[in-house]
Amino acid sequence: MAELGFAWVNEREITVGLLCDLQRILAKASRRPPRDPGEIRAGQVIIGPEDVPFEEARFVPSPPGDQLRGGFDAWQLWLYNGPMVCPSS
């Protein structure tokens, strides 16, 4: 997977679309593939053993929705434009 990712960044811009394409390929090899491989997820997920309560998950990623999509969009802007500096008050 890493080799494919490194090859692609020589051919393609690093974008949310590139990450989604890589995630789609990675998800195919998963024991429990997501419902929406290759897309920014629409549902909450947890990382950890099966059948554990949410509170006992090893890791809980950001919730789905506008905040998650906005985070990806901000990351892509930062990647190509550098960090945004807030004006001092």
Q: What is the pLDDT of residue 88?
A: 67
Please name the residue that has the structure tokens 């190509």.
Answer: 80
* Total domains in the fold of the chain: 1
Q: At what angle do helices 16-28 and 2-11 cross, to 10 degrees?
A: 150
Sign of CA dihedral 48, 51, 56, 61: positive
Contact 46, 57 (CB under 8 A): yes
Distance of CA 21 to the CA centre of its chain: 11
Range of the domain at 37: 2-81
In a domain, 88, yes or no: no
The per-residue pLDDT for range 8-63, each reduced to its tens digit, is 989 999 999 999 999 999 888 888 778 889 999 888 888 888 888 989 999 999 89
In a domain, 30, yes or no: yes
In a domain, 74, yes or no: yes
How many other C-beta atoms are found inside a 10 Å radius of the C-beta of residue 3? Answer: 7
